[in-house]
Chains A and B, each alone.
Chain A
């Protein structure tokens, strides 16, 4: 366990930061500077200020407030780039054309970067210049973390997860929780097997709130006769370091999973129904480690769809209930798991009613990117969710499925608030319930 990394970043919590303003801005600049590559530079240099990204962002659409324009959220990062690293940086600096980023500026941007962005990446698809807007915002968040301006909710969880492997204070270790779930749902859960082909994780939110979907996943694995195991030291799939914008914490947290997978000799790490866990392990872990990982990373729906395609997993047809499916953005739009959920649904004979914005273009659940955990952002989140729920209703669906526990948390909260008539269900549970014997 790399406690050194944890300690190094432990001081970066918003409230207890006792560094000088200058040091904190320096911290932000260091994170920004790590992002100054040719790709990012090209993105920032080519922005034509057309404002179209606003039209992709659910928070702007729901509120029509200019400050939610995605590229505006990256403004401080852009400014730092222009001043420090752009082609004409010396001019900008000497002539004072771009002001130095101050702590006050960063404080002002905290709300825009954390409380009103899910890092859902929809803006990256609308940009006529082809800018990866979401990446700029993500680097902006990393700067905020280093300045000690990431929201405390996220930083605390990230720091705790980096240190203990669990992002919250628990009465009962997750391993015990997992065993209980197995007993309760009548499935054998393999835990801490010495060697296995597949290492499986579970979403923290499902362990607590929707244990049946964890059980469902295990049920299918057992049915397939997969050689898998959970590892007590790396049960949690989520990576709060990603939410908090901390390179260090994210790396420490990812490393725990990677180490365990190496230890059991897994050739595959199965990410459960959790979008950002998938994105951070599938696409960011290797980058943070700076090495190619010795195993593949697959989302559970991807794995199941592969088994269906191979004829190893056969499913019964379900009822003809009109069903809508929410595409989690970290999985689908950003993660590339485009077809797996639909392969499973078509195998199940689901009467799928697509939303107007679906697959790569779906609207985010508005709870991602850590917003589920930031209480003060709830009013804004609800505004965007109201829009989303209406879109689901417009399909005429009676059943609502998704494949991300974080999305479910967000929808459950919104559904409760608006007295919505639908419950968000897990696709994996539907699969588990309809295995052809």
Chain B
């Protein structure tokens, strides 16, 4: 953890790059990659690079709540040490109790110090959902509920990045019946810019890329679930290399049939690709080595709100099974009853109108 000066005295990213011996060519290549990822025109690369170089390294406070450390694992387990890792490694990660050497009171003190010194300027990264039931006592650290800690840390944040589907929407912690009343950051904090980077876990390049893009040009374009459109603008289905099989109506019906071996569409095996927005199909995982669908498993929709509660992962999601046979029988019976009543009423009305007496 670098000990850098705080506030206006903090070095720019350009300075950090120079210190680390990153050449201009490498830096430009990285920026070109970023702008391409974010679907910006090639001409924008130069401006992006300039802005990024000029940006000062921010103070980052990383708050873990109801989480599993999977997101942090993802973030720190990037394969080739890339430039964004370098930037991330060199940012002033002033508090992350999983990574930092300090523990206990010392760690908490470091957090309070960073919050105070960078009030209004630090980036708050939240990992994990926040319990709200019973005043949040289901999730505590250092004698404080996560709820209190979130409000406290959010107050001086320039922006909040909710990393992982739990921090974004409650995720696994909020799965039915959600005993702790877990919610995402955006459910609690309404007065700060919030960027959601959901996933279980999110793609590391998407996390660092979001951070870099925030450093260069502020809060990026977000979708209605507050996700950066640059990474969450398309469905998995739209970009899936198996899409052509869907279009031709060729589906694997089980995981060991001819269709599965031929690499056909996994829609019928429950793939959530059509309704899941994420960059897996383009950025892929493990440094581009592969991604779930390429490995033969359907998308489970981990970057979508409520993904844990959308039925079995192997049930296609076109329609919810209509299992209420009893209800349909009741509806039919009611139809017979009302129809009979209407028919008999019409019949007696007919007799009355026709002046017949029977």
Contacts and interface: CB of A to CB of B under 8 A. Distances in A.
A152 B288 CA distance: 92
Contacts of A31: 354
A89 B342 contact: yes
Interface string B335-358: 000010011011001111111100
Interface of A: 26, 29-34, 36, 84-90
A308 to B, nearest CB: 45
Contacts of A30: 353-355
Interface of B: 339, 342-343, 345-346, 349-356
Contacts of B342: 87-90
B321 to A, nearest CB: 31
A207 B214 CA distance: 105
Nearest to A36: B350
Nearest to B338: A87
Given A34-B350, A85-B349, A89-B349, 20 more contacts: A30-B354, A30-B355, A31-B354, A32-B353, A33-B349, A33-B350, A33-B352, A33-B353, A34-B354, A36-B346, A36-B350, A84-B346, A85-B346, A85-B350, A87-B342, A87-B343, A89-B342, A89-B345, A89-B346, A90-B342
Contacts of B349: 33, 84-85, 89
Nearest to A37: B350
The SS class assigned to the A binding surface is helix
A29 B352 CA distance: 10
Best-buried of A36, A88, A89 by chain B (most CB within 10 Å): A36
| 7 cross-chain pairs, A with B, having the tightest CB-CB distances, nearest first | A33-B353, A33-B354, A85-B346, A34-B354, A33-B350, A36-B350, A29-B353
Contacts of A33: 349-354
Contact of A87 (B339, B353, B354, B356): B339
A90 B342 CA distance: 9
Nearest to B346: A85
A88 B342 CA distance: 8
Contacts of B354: 30-31, 33-34
A193 B350 CA distance: 45
Contacts of B355: 30
A88 B343 CA distance: 10
A19 to B, nearest CB: 14
30 contacts: A26-B353, A29-B353, A30-B353, A30-B354, A30-B355, A31-B354, A32-B353, A33-B349, A33-B351, A33-B352, A33-B353, A33-B354, A34-B350, A34-B354, A34-B356, A36-B350, A84-B346, A84-B350, A84-B353, A85-B346, A85-B350, A86-B346, A87-B339, A87-B342, A87-B343, A89-B342, A89-B345, A89-B346, A89-B349, A90-B342
A88 B352 CA distance: 18
Contacts of A87: 339, 342-343
Contacts of A86: 346
Best-buried of A31, A33, A36, A89 by chain B (most CB within 10 Å): A33
Contacts of A26: 353
A20 to B, nearest CB: 17
A31 B355 CA distance: 9
A85 B342 CA distance: 8
